[in-house]
A and B are shown apart, each in its own frame.
Chain A
């Protein structure tokens, strides 16, 4: 399928391995990415707390750019983009007069947002468009024995009504479903749906890093090999800031955190290095060791 692809800012900034791994994984799932390279930042909730109309208009612009492509829908790879964009879209779709007002600002650039765009995070696309059975069928290297803890990021699970979580769309369980479809073992731990702390890292560092450190510690206690997240901002607090979080919570953590496309890529046969895992602050040694063992076992089996 063809999608208008919004990679977000951080996937091309401080977590380049996310954008890179998505580009590697997409063709393996027959997803054609039409990158919205003229798109703009979603505001991450911060522009909305400065001026709501500004955030709404900026996102309407990205939506309008997506609607100019022949993509079936718009896809993002960031929980925060998903949540911030869904919030703006809720207002734009709910009120025709407001939509016209916003569209007048977009008019000079020749853009118009038409109500009802489908904008889905890669996680939702995997489950709702690709399908878990189809995903399972494409797995060439099941994640057998790999213990993976899900970490969603707040923006992709709350508020439930805006995010579209209901009995038919248990989007707050999709990571578990995907880990399972890839052959991995789902690790249940306290922090999976909690806040990574990133939004307040410059305002209340102690609270922010306590959040990150506590969730990572819970995952360590649950004997997870790694966490997986669809949110690069969570990745910043859980991976980039992990050495500082260790100091705040006073314990060694060493918990690798993978981006969702990296985990999918691993099961589709890509190598850790191709997926940019060497770029993480916390080396995903457990994951690399796992993949080395699996490859070695496969080689032995072939030799036999």
Chain B
């Protein structure tokens, strides 16, 4: 047995009082979970502490919280590990972010998370004709989508999504990972329609900023951002969906820019991402950027010559790579989740969940 101090964020919207911190000293073996610590505090000291939980085994996804500022499952975090990650020896537990607090550590998953999950039609829209027996699908494809199927809907990725922090309408990492579960499923009939809807949504596929927060937040290794990038490759490169958010245009402009120059020529990228200098769509955007560009020129950051002339041409080797790789009949993609790692590259036993 050891003593641990928990600092819990308490808040009851109905009371009219502001949120406050509450500390309790609990006694448990160090390998027990933060959840067990909270439940002990509730049983011994204060029956009004609000926490949602059910399975206590990282399966039901009910006890998502922030521990020392990082999102995770209270039942899946050992007390000794939690103390090690705290700054002052006290385990700090808060409700998840980006969702309204119902009470103490319980957030309103319905208002945010579930609403967004439902928005992506989270069920299979069967491809016709439905076979008499089973669909025959490649093993790799199904293993690939089991990664997003591993989601337990705990909301940890939603809690810490940095795009959602500034755009609460953003569809978010959990819903997009769920969307890939069906877009990547060869039995689904509506791949194109699903992608088009997400790509055209002003708060959809192209609002993810690549911040990797969801990758670290997920307790089940779903890699939501990895699934978002798969959706973008299929929507942009494979299906050529020309979305209103400049998502595909930006991707195309970037790729062409590097094929031409080898290194990025920013002045071209800006205009090409909006469809090119002569595109009517580009004009308002370019005008809006004009003050920044003028200041940059005044400071000698950019010279008119540098903005207009291309001094750097892509080396032959770079052009050859584009020709070879883009020339493949089918886009080839190594998925480490499916292929695994070479044995000599595997992390030492005990550092990762050994499967």
Query: Residues on A close to B: CB < 8 A?
Result: 9-10, 12-17, 38-41, 43-54, 56-58, 61, 83, 90-91, 93-96, 98, 105-106, 108-109, 111, 154-155, 158-160, 194-195, 197-200, 202-204, 206-208, 210-211, 214, 240-241, 243-244, 278-281
Asked if B295 and A47 sit within 8 Å, CB to CB, the answer is no
| Chain B residues, CB < 8 A from A16 | 301
Q: Which of A10, A38, A105, A211 contacts B315 (CB 8 A)?
A: A38
Please determine whether A204 and B254 come into contact, CB atoms closer than 8 angstroms. no
- Choose among A40, A49, A54, A195 the residue that contacts B236 (Cβ–Cβ < 8 A): A49
- For B285, the closest partner residue in chain A by CB is A202
Q: Which residues of B contact A12 (CB under 8 A)?
A: 263
- Contact B317–A109 (Cβ < 8 Å): yes
Docked-complex contact B292 and A58, CB < 8 angstroms: no
Distance between Cα atoms of A57 and B203 in the complex (Å)? 32
Contact B211 A204 (CB under 8 A): no
- In the complex, chain B residues whose CB is within 8 Å of the CB of A202: 246, 250, 270, 273-274, 285
Distance in Å: Cβ of B77 to nearest Cβ of chain A: 15
- In the A-B complex, the 7 residue pairs with the smallest Cβ-Cβ separation, listed nearest first, are A158-B212, A9-B264, A109-B317, A210-B166, A195-B211, A207-B167, A94-B341
For B333, give the chain A residue with the smallest CB separation.
A52
Distance (whole angstroms) from the CB of A288 to the closest CB of chain B? 14
Most B-side CB within 10 Å, residue of A40, A47, A109, A198:
A40
Q: Is the CB of A53 within 8 A of B332?
A: yes
A51, A91, A96: the one contacting B325 at CB < 8 Å is A51
A residues within 8 A CB of B185? none
Whether B176 sits at the interface, judged by CB under 8 Å, is no
Contact of B207 among A39, A54, A200 (CB under 8 A): A200
Q: A154-B211, A203-B246 are in contact. List 19 more A-B contacts (CB 8 A).
A: A13-B306, A14-B301, A46-B251, A52-B334, A54-B255, A58-B321, A94-B341, A94-B345, A95-B342, A159-B215, A200-B208, A202-B273, A204-B245, A211-B209, A214-B166, A241-B292, A244-B288, A244-B291, A244-B292
B314 at the binding interface (Cβ < 8 Å): yes
Contact indicator A203/B317 (Cβ below 8 Å)? no
Q: Show 30 residue pairs from A and B whose CB-CB distance is below 8 angstroms, ordered by the A residue.
A: A13-B264, A14-B302, A17-B301, A41-B263, A44-B264, A46-B254, A47-B254, A49-B229, A50-B233, A52-B233, A54-B322, A54-B326, A56-B334, A61-B317, A94-B345, A95-B336, A108-B317, A109-B317, A195-B163, A195-B209, A197-B166, A199-B210, A200-B163, A207-B166, A211-B166, A240-B292, A240-B295, A243-B292, A279-B300, A281-B299
Which residues of chain B are near A278, meaning CB under 8 Å? 299-300
Q: Which residues of A contact B210 (CB under 8 A)?
A: 45, 154-155, 195, 199
How far does the alpha carbon of A281 sit from the alpha carbon of B295 in the complex, in Å? 6
| CB-CB contacts below 8 Å: B218-242 with A | 229, 232-233, 236-237
Q: Is the CB of B166 within 8 A of A58?
A: no
Complex contacts, A160 vs chain B, CB 8 Å: 216
Is A211's CB under 8 angstroms from B162's CB?
yes
A278 CB to nearest B CB, Å: 7
Closest Cβ–Cβ distance, residue A204 to chain B (whole Å): 5
Is there contact, CB below 8 Å, between B211 and A207? no
Contact with A along B243-276 (1 / 0, CB 8 A): 0011100111011001000111110001001100
List of A residues within 8 angstroms of B299 by Cβ: 278-281
Task: Please give, as numbers and ranges, the residues of chain B lying within 8 Å of A199 by CB-CB distance.
Answer: 209-210
Chain B residues with Cβ below 8 Å from A109 are: 316-317, 320
Neighbouring A residues of B215 by C-beta, 8 Å: 158-159
Residues of A within 8 A of B288 (CB): 244
Q: How many angstroms between the C-alpha atoms of A180 and B238 in the bound complex? A: 49
Residues of A contacting B203 in the complex (Cβ-Cβ under 8 angstroms): 204
Give the shortest distance, in Å, between A73 (CB) and chain B (any CB): 19
CB-CB contacts of B316-345 with A at 8 A, as 1s and 0s?
111011101110100111101001011001
Given the complex of chains A and B, what is the CA–CA distance between A77 and B122 in angstroms? 42
For A38, the closest partner residue in chain B by CB is B315
> Is B331's CB under 8 angstroms from A53's CB?
yes
- Complex: how many Å from CA A111 to CA B321? 12
Q: How far is the CB of A197 from chain B (nearest CB, A)?
A: 6
- Give every chain B residue within 8 A of A15 (Cβ-Cβ): 301
Contacts of B274 in A (CB 8 A): 202
Q: Do A105 and B325 touch across chains, with their CB atoms under 8 A apart?
A: yes
